Amino acid sequence: MRNSLTRATLWSAAATERAALADDLAGLHEAQWAQQSLCGRWVVEEVVAHLTAAASVGALRWFGSVLGARFDFDLHNARRLAEYRGATPAETLERFQRVVNSTTSAPGPTAAWLGEVVVHAQDIRRPLGFARTPAVETVTEVARFYSRRDFTVAGRSTIEGLRLEATDGPFTTGAGPIVSGTTLALTMVMAGRGAYCDDLTGPGVSTLRDRCSGNGHRTTSN
In angstroms, the CA 88 to CA 112 distance is 29
Q: Which amino acid is present at 153?
A: V
In angstroms, the CA 48 to CA 93 distance is 7
In angstroms, the CA 220 to CA 222 distance is 6
Higher pLDDT, 127 or 222: 127
Instruction: At 164, give phi and psi (nearest 5°).
Output: -100, 135
* Per-residue pLDDT, 60: 85
User: Residue 155 in contact with residue 147, Cβ under 8 Å?
Assistant: yes
Q: Which amino acid is present at 131?
A: A
Q: What's the mean pLDDT when you consider all of the chain?
A: 93
> Is residue 158 helix, strand or coil?
helix
Return the HEC string of 59-115: HHHHHHHHHHCCCCHHHHHHHHHHHHCCCCHHHHHHHHHHCCCCCCCCCCCHHHHHH
* Per-residue pLDDT, 194: 96
Query: For 77-123, what is each residue's pLDDT tens digit?
Result: 889 899 999 999 999 999 999 999 999 999 999 999 999 999 999 99
Beta strand segments in the chain, E: 163-166, 172-173, 178-181
- 214 to 119, 159, 195: CA distances (angstroms): 19, 13, 13
Query: For 124-154, what is each residue's pLDDT tens digit?
Result: 999 999 999 999 999 999 999 999 999 999 9
Give the global pTM.
Answer: 0.92
Query: For 163-214, what is each residue's pLDDT tens digit?
Result: 999 999 999 999 999 999 999 999 999 999 999 999 999 999 999 999 998 7
* pLDDT confidence tier of residue 219, bands split at 50, 70 and 90: very low
* Per-residue pLDDT, 215: 61
CB neighbourhood size of 206 (10 A): 12
